[in-house]
Structure formats: C-alpha cells, structure tokens
Amino acid sequence: MKIFPAIDIKDKRCVRLIKGDFDNKTEYKLSPVDQAGKYKEYGFKNLHIVDLDGALTGETVNLNIIKEIVSKFDLKVEVGGGIRTIDGITKYIDVGVEKVILGSAAIKDKNFLKEGCQKFPDKIALGLDAKDGYLSVSGWKENSNQLTLDFLKEVNDYGVSRLIYTDINRDGTKQGPNFEETSKVADISSCPVIISGGVSSIDDIEKAKSLNNNIEGIIVGKAIYDGDIRLEELVKEIDA
C-alpha cells in the first residue's frame, strides 16, 4: 500500500479545506517545502500535492514551490490543481513531477485527456472527484451531471496510469473514506486506484489494504495536520 501524505497549497501556505469549500479552510504553520521535508524525514516515498490557487485560476501558480520540493527531496510527487493545457502538463513534467493529475479539464474535454496520455505515457493520473455518484468540476463548484462510473467506462482505454477517486462529501471531514464507491471504481478501472477523502485513523488504512487488489494507495491529509494520525505510525503502513 502506497501512502500519500498530502499538501494543499493556497497563498503559499499549507491549508486544508472542508468538502472543498474555500471559505472553510484551516491554515497551518509549516510552509509547503518544510512540510514536504518533514514527510521525507519520516521516511515517506510518495507525496500528493494540490495547487488550490491553480484549481481556481487554471494556471500553474505554485510551480516554483513544487519545483523546490521535487528538487530538494527524493519523493515521488503527484500534482493536481488547474492543469488545463498540454503546456501546463509539460511544465510539471519538466521539473520532475512523477504524475500530473488531470481533473476538470479532462472531464470537460476527453480529447485533452487522451492527448495528454499519448504525449506523456505513464505520467498522467486522472482525478475523479464525486458527490453523490456524480462528478464535480472547477474546484468542486460545478456538478458535471456525469455519473462517475459512466465517465470512467468511456475513458478506460485512454492510457491513464493512475486514478485518484475522491468523495467530496468525505473530504476534510475525517469521517472515513467512501470505501464502497471506491471499490466500485477499482472494479472497473483499467489502472490502479488511489483512495482520497475522509481518512481519519490507522484503521482506515488497514481497511483500505483489505479491499480490491486494484487499489494501490491512499491519500492522508487533515488527519495528519490535526494530529489524529501520527506520522511514525502511518509510515509503518507503507508496503506492510
């Protein structure tokens, strides 16, 4: 099981949102670079970064911060947030990011997703953020009116290398992930799936390990920042 501690960047700070609500955020003291260094010190190998400024603007706002993290620490970094062009993907690949997460732009334009996968083999992750079974886009402000599973079936052969499934109703709530829906996604996905949203305890990690073999990892955010999960305990769950 791969563990992805999370860093969400807004105004150059580490923040956490509740259910994607930008008006309901908590800021944390450590800078994104220092937080990444902390994860590295504890022995984590993977890192999940979201550029929340990018999600709002469609630009690679925090590219320099992410470049510094990638260059300073030997971490496999996946990045998402407002990546809507081939040029945006290229910028992140050029600074050494392992996976670029496409979300809203890929859902609105499947051809963009297909082109990204063709140009950057094994580098594109698909972020599917769902609310009550339907995909949300544009920083979770819009409902796409597309059922998650229907969309996945349409793009399943595009060459996506990783799928990140987030239940928006659980994200930032520490109520536990939506294991049932994630398992449905993993059952039909042609690529490995990462669980995201609502992780509250080590028990959630243990449950994730018992699920579908196509689930390769889990993202942990707020529970780390709030002290519900200690890093020394979490790191023991890697590949265990």
87 has catalytic annotation? no
Contacts (Cβ under 8 Å, ≥6 apart) of 213: none
**pLDDT band, residue 132 (cuts 50/70/90):** confident
8 has catalytic annotation? yes
User: What average pLDDT does this structure show over 129-144?
Assistant: 77
Q: Return d(Cα 167, Cα 36) in angstroms, integer.
A: 24
**pLDDT band, residue 236 (cuts 50/70/90):** very high
Q: What is the pLDDT of residue 19?
A: 74
Domain residue extents for the chain: 2-237
Is domain 2-237 classified as CATH 3.20.20.70? yes
Check pLDDT > 90 for residue 171: no
Name the packing angle between helices 86-94 and 110-119 (round to 10°). 30
pTM for this entry? 0.94
Check pLDDT > 80 for residue 173: no
Catalytic residue among 21, 53, 74, 129: 129
